[in-house]
Amino acid sequence: MKKRVAILILALISSPAFAGGRCYSAQELQAEQLLRLHSELMVITVTCKQSSTGRDLVRAYTGFTRRNIKQLKNAEQALIGFYEKFYGGNGVSRLDTLRTKLANEFGQESANVSAPTFCAQRRDKVIAMYDSPPKSLRVASMEAYKRALNYEPVCDKSLKVASADMAELPETPVKQPLGKTKKIKKGGKS
């Protein structure tokens, strides 16, 4: 039994995901969660077209994107910097892969339950986010996906717990890689 535990610990320590301290800081985790929200809203918009009250989701999604463009661009830049630092090469390409994977996740969720069911459950989320003040965006995205599997390990497991005081998280990583992850491989396959 002790031998198995030692092997497991050695495997975790030598895992490429944690090599060189490669894990999300609070800022990078927030960035992925914000892009996850943006991707979900896009898939809802494309799939559903209208809210339950007949409001145009394309107009709401476009308005949401315009209103929050600075935060979305900052999130993209944070992840591009992370990818370039830990993977080398073109961070934009890895960001594009992440965006595609996020959209595919939500597209698959729609396919799993059927478009009418997916829309009945989520169509009004686009309107709610459009009507929300931009200041609430960071907290809303962290709360919405606190149980989602992120694509990189989180430096500090406590960052996965969303709360109202999460608007200003520290931007420096903690040196304890923890959390469930999905790996992004080159070519868009995981």
Find the mean pLDDT for residues 101-120: 96
In a domain, 5, yes or no: no
Angle between helix 57-67 and helix 69-87 axes, rounded to 10 deg = 70
In a domain, 6, yes or no: no
Nearest to 162 by CA among 181, 135, 137, 144: 144
Distance CA 134, CA 49 (A): 23
In a domain, 136, yes or no: yes
In a domain, 1, yes or no: no
Query: Confidence class of residue 141 from pLDDT cuts 50, 70 and 90?
Result: confident
In a domain, 141, yes or no: yes
pLDDT tens digits, residue range 9-38?
333 333 344 445 689 999 999 999 999 999
Nearest to 30 by CA among 125, 167, 149: 167
For 65, the domain range is 18-188
Q: Please give the residue that has the higher pLDDT: either 42 or 2.
A: 42
In a domain, 135, yes or no: yes
In a domain, 29, yes or no: yes
Q: For residue 83, which amino acid is it?
A: Y
Nearby residues of 159 by Cβ (< 8 Å), 6 or more positions away: 24, 26, 29, 169
Neighbours of 12 (CB within 10 A): 11
In a domain, 8, yes or no: no
The 3 state secondary structure assigned to 129-174 is HHHCCHHHHHHHHHHHCCCCCECCCECCHHHHCCCHHHHCCCCCCC
Find the mean pLDDT for residues 74-90: 94
Q: What is the pLDDT of residue 159?
A: 61
Angle between helix 115-131 and helix 91-113 axes, rounded to 10 deg = 130
Find the mean pLDDT for residues 69-80: 96
Is residue 128 over pLDDT 90?
A: yes
Report the domain count for the chain. 1
Percent of the chain with pLDDT over 90: 55
Asked whether 176 and 155 are in contact (CB, 8 A), the reply is yes
Q: What is the pLDDT of residue 180?
A: 43
Distance CA 190, CA 184 (A): 5
